């Protein structure tokens, strides 16, 4: 989903998010490298509060930090691209989010990110099939094989 805030007659920004070349909805295998790209434009009015921040993260954590912190030019503003690579871990559905702040510091916008974030993309990491360990049990009256589920340790 594209994030748009403001018009040419206001402070504003436009942010597009792409996950691994799949757009705003991506499915990634566990342990696979993921690339998230943020393309954004930010501008201000000449008479408005000067400092702007663009913060990005996954779920409630602003893991990508401040993509932008500064005094942007007036409309049409400045257009930038930030790209991040990381390895997917765990399974689940994760929300890529952004927050546009008007604060004196990047830290102030980072602190406001969890409550003010807007979801711009989702990443689904499906669970993997459980791995099995096979053990030989040898006893006076028993010879056999058991499989142990690596996820919960249960004998199956």
Q: What is the pLDDT of residue 122?
A: 96
Residue ranges of the domains in the chain? 3-125, 130-156
**How far is the C-alpha of 87 from the C-alpha of 131, rounded, in Å?**
20
Q: Assign domain 3-125 to a CATH class.
A: mainly beta
Average pLDDT estimate for 58-75 = 96
Q: What is the pLDDT of residue 132?
A: 47
Average pLDDT estimate for 139-147 = 44
pLDDT band at 69; cut points 50, 70, 90: very high
Q: Write out pLDDT tens, residues 87-115.
A: 988 899 999 999 999 999 999 999 999 99
Q: What is the pLDDT of residue 124?
A: 96
Other beta carbons within 10 Å of 57:
19
* HEC assignment per residue over 52-118: EEEEEEECCEEEEEEEEEECCCECCCEEEEEEEEEECCCCEEEEEEEEEECCCCHHHHHHHHHHHCE
Backbone φ and ψ for 154, nearest 5 degrees, come out as -75, 145
């Amino acid at each position: 989903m594209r994030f748009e805030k403001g018009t040419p007659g206001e402070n504003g920004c436009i942010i597009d998010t792409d996950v691994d070349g799949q757009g705003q909805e991506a499915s990634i295998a566990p342990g696979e490298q993921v690339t998230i790209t943020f393309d954004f434009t930010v501008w201000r009015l000449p008479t408005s509060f000067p400092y702007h921040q663009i913060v990005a993260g996954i779920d409630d954590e602003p893991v990508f930090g401040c993509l932008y912190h500064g005094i942007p030019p007036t409309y049409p503003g400045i257009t930038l691209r930030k790209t991040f690579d990381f390895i997917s871990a765990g399974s689940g559905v994760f929300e890529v989010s952004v927050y546009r702040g008007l604060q004196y510091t990047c830290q102030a916008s980072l602190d406001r990110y969890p409550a003010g974030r807007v979801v711009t993309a989702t990443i689904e990491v499906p669970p993997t099939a459980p791995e099995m360990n096979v053990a030989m049990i040898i006893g006076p009256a028993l010879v056999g094989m058991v499989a142990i589920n690596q996820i919960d340790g249960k004998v199956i």
